[in-house]
A and B are shown apart, each in its own frame.
Chain A
């Protein structure tokens, strides 16, 4: 029976690919709106097997913190570089500890990539 199971069951992708986000230590700065702060992040997608990334802001215990971006989940073509602003309310400035980007994998993917990468910068 077990021989009928696919001989090499794919766990992860076979291609080199990378995911990067900067800066490592972003800062909140006042935005053009009262009571709202913003920070600017930059991402570079060298993962040819991943097209979508998700942004998240977390406190020191990794609980989600409310924030606003143009797109929480956005498309990044391979080898593209994207700058995006993240907005947060003044009370949350002291609470926000991490900002992370995570690759989103397609469940049905011809690429068969199964490594989810997440890069987190920290507010100090």
Chain B
């Protein structure tokens, strides 16, 4: 019996060799990444602005696309506060969105080719890779009246739309 077990132990195992494929699918996609926070500075009583010179921070949104010429990036700057101490219909909002950085030199034309309609700015993402878009926002209270004390927030809408 021991001899039989020993024979089985030393007998090489015969296995069938098969190919084991590794498959993966890469599909086109767009990812919107809220890269940098936006902060309103308060240079005077009646203005809130994201301008760095006035103590603000411009929000930056990153768009990552894996397929060239498949998406538009659209960013809409605010036209109202989402949070404010009191409702105030006399506030005027202005803003702008521009290219902050690009991940590929071929994207250098994005800024010149952008289109603006209303509060929205649209970029044609003709290259694959990442682009960073920064948005400015300025809120001015009517009649140069001071904003009431409190926290003010507004919403930037970042969209990735398939062509």
Contacts and interface: CB of A to CB of B under 8 A. Distances in A.
B129 interface: no
Contact of B82 (A4, A5, A46, A114): A114
A75 interface: no
Interface of A: 1-2, 4-25, 46-47, 49, 98, 105, 107, 112-122
B151 A24 contact: no
B99 to A, nearest CB: 17
A11 B33 contact: no
Given A115-B156, A119-B30, A120-B160, A10 B67 contact: no
Interface in B18-67: 27-42, 44-46, 48, 50, 55-57, 59, 61, 64, 67
Given A18-B64, A115-B157, A120-B162, 11 more contacts: A9-B41, A12-B34, A16-B34, A24-B27, A24-B28, A24-B30, A46-B31, A47-B34, A49-B34, A105-B82, A118-B159
B76 to A, nearest CB: 9
How many chain B residues sit at the interface, stated as a range, is 35 or more
A110 to B, nearest CB: 12
Given A98-B161, A114-B82, A13 B149 contact: no
B27 A23 contact: yes
A46 to B, nearest CB: 8
B116 interface: no
Contacts of A49: 34
A11 B48 CA distance: 10
Interface of B: 27-42, 44-46, 48, 50, 55-57, 59, 61, 64, 67, 70-71, 78, 82-83, 137, 146-163
Interface centre among A2, A9, A17 (most CB of B within 10 A): A9
Identify whether the interface residues of B are mostly helix, strand, loop, or mixed.
Answer: strand
A117 B158 contact: yes
Q: By CB atoms of chain A within 10 A, which of B56, B71, B78, B153 has the most?
A: B153
29 contacts: A1-B45, A1-B146, A4-B149, A5-B146, A7-B42, A8-B41, A9-B39, A10-B37, A11-B137, A15-B34, A16-B34, A16-B35, A17-B34, A18-B32, A18-B34, A19-B31, A22-B27, A22-B29, A24-B71, A47-B34, A49-B34, A105-B82, A114-B154, A114-B156, A115-B155, A117-B32, A118-B157, A120-B161, A122-B162
A65 to B, nearest CB: 16
Contact of A10 (B31, B33, B153, B160): B153
A116 B74 CA distance: 12
Contacts of B28: 22-25
